[in-house]
Chains A and B, each alone.
Chain A
């Protein structure tokens, strides 16, 4: 077997092992399974949060952007970790006490309006779709890299593989083993990095801290200052991007619903800490890939020009591995980690998106008397429709993986975050305010493509990947102003907020 068939073999083994392990666990203790897996303590809960969070954006897109932009792209690292502080401090325990774990459910219940629920459902489906497009781009690039085919066919094959995997594990009823997934993802990301560091002669035991020397070499020998602050972009754009990703994290629908699986609030809070630690392990490693990749290129004397670098940035972790002379099976391990992260993120998002179509739109609004079977059918059909839509959009991706993901974060941060924030912390917020806020949020998110042709200033204040720095505060102001123009929400809801959400003690 040659190198690339070894990597395909490893990838297949990993994906099959998830099904096998899942099936074995299912037969052993199927009774203990609740929503999305067994409770395994605070550390296990943290690993579940982290594996739920890891996607192609974290494993492929992040390293690629740092490779392209250096210090400027650290905004992604900070945004995607700092968001958990906001989430934990402002929302986690209160949302858990509120008892609604999807954004449309929360909005429908808190603001008592089916119109608000419908808008929230459409927004969360849109977030899922945008997020999935980025994952599909990652899957397509890995497929085209491994099989040596062009990107379009890579996306097609990848899409077919994801959908068959989804259908297969759905038919077998395989529970997702989130702890195993986290272990596979982090192992397959960090071990190849150690190999590269060792091969290049740098401190390899903790490559997360060992790449400093490589960065110094890069600037000494090749005069490339990777760390120069704000060299490629402005301070405003750094902060806007970072803030957008933070509020987006705290508003992302599939992140919030993680608090379901842990039985009490105290453990839920502590599992966020572990989750953040596990996420940070990956994010400390991503810059190392970027630096090693640049250094290898420079050493071999084929530094890419910006256009070519941008087109390969998303796959640069694999390219770097190959350039460093990594054996095929280890490249396969690296690809398998990124691929399984993308696979399970897509699976989770498509299923929650379809559940939202079936429950929040079809059942709650269109046909309240629909039977269980009809709802299931709508959900299954919805999964396929969403998958097809994502596949179509991914054929012609509008940007880099991390950039596409950032748009999903901007949408979440402009709409869902303010809704949760005011819904929890301000009893006076009512449904008129919520609807006005969501519509403003959608406008803010897409202000750049919509209006910057007419008003160039809009594009500067609301850049497409980072519109929430100006957007989220604006939405909050709109929500407050509109809420005050209309009567307060029913007393029952205000009492519930005060007594249950803020009054109940753990």
Chain B
């Protein structure tokens, strides 16, 4: 019983670990994209204020809006939706992949 229990634990542990490792990878990648576009862009905007690069950000227009306003007010919410879609697609894929692996080894 104890042997079986141990085997059960160890064997279920492995695919779990694989799944979790993949999950953490995508989380870190997405949070990076989230932080860069949200805070990175604002820092860039503040630092470049008054210089030529800053002028490009605030003078150029898209849909009539200054580029930085468009980026923050309209593009970023879209970007967040995009990040969520990527996350879901990826998680759908890895959970399918890992549960198939588990099925093959046990059932």
Contact = CB atoms under 8 A, between A and B. Distances in A.
Chain A facing B: main interface SS: helix
Contact of A90 (B27, B68, B102): B27
Interface string B29-48: 01100100011001101100
Contacts of B95: 505-506
Contact of B84 (A74, A210, A243, A273): A273
A411 B61 CA distance: 38
A316 to B, nearest CB: 17
Given A229-B49, A273-B84, A280-B81, A82 B76 contact: yes
A157 interface: no
Interface string A192-226: 00000000000000001111110110000000001
Interface in B8-63: 12-13, 15-16, 19-20, 27, 30-31, 34, 38-39, 42-43, 45-46, 49, 58, 61-63
A227 interface: yes
15 contacts: A71-B69, A77-B76, A81-B80, A82-B76, A88-B87, A215-B64, A235-B43, A239-B43, A242-B39, A242-B42, A243-B39, A283-B77, A499-B12, A505-B15, A505-B99
A90 B84 CA distance: 11
Nearest to A73: B73
B17 to A, nearest CB: 9
Contact of A78 (B15, B46, B63, B72): B72
Contacts of A74: 69, 72-73
B48 to A, nearest CB: 10
B9 to A, nearest CB: 8
A273 B88 contact: yes
B88 A269 contact: yes
Given A212-B64, A505-B99, A89 B69 contact: no
A255 interface: no
Contacts of B70: 212
B81 A277 contact: yes
B61 A212 contact: yes
A270 interface: yes
A502 B68 CA distance: 40
A502 B16 contact: yes
Given A227-B66, A272-B84, A506-B95, A77 B42 contact: no
A325 interface: no
Interface residues of B, number: 46
Interface of A: 71, 74, 77-78, 81-82, 84-86, 88-90, 93, 208-213, 215-216, 226-230, 235, 238-239, 242-243, 266, 269-270, 272-273, 276-277, 280, 283-284, 287, 498-499, 502-503, 505-506
Contacts of A211: 64-65
Given A89-B31, A208-B74, A229 B68 contact: yes
Given A78-B76, A82-B76, A215-B64, A230 B46 contact: yes
Contacts of A276: 77, 80-81, 84
B83 A229 contact: no
A78 B42 CA distance: 12
A142 to B, nearest CB: 26
A227 B102 contact: no
A269 B91 contact: yes
Contact of B58 (A84, A227, A238): A227
A60 B27 CA distance: 34
A503 B20 contact: yes
Given A89-B30, A239-B39, A77 B80 contact: no
B80 A84 contact: yes
Contacts of A503: 12-13, 16, 19-20
A277 B1 CA distance: 51
Contacts of B91: 93, 269, 506
B54 to A, nearest CB: 9
A85 B20 contact: no
Contacts of B34: 82, 85-86
Contacts of B61: 212, 216
A467 to B, nearest CB: 17
Contact of B42 (A93, A238, A506): A238
Contact of A209 (B42, B63, B68, B98): B63
B76 A273 contact: no
B92 interface: yes
Contacts of B73: 74, 77, 284, 287
Contact of A85 (B13, B68, B80): B80
Contacts of B31: 86, 89
Given A227-B65, A230-B46, A506-B95, A284 B77 contact: yes
B101 to A, nearest CB: 10
A499 B64 CA distance: 53
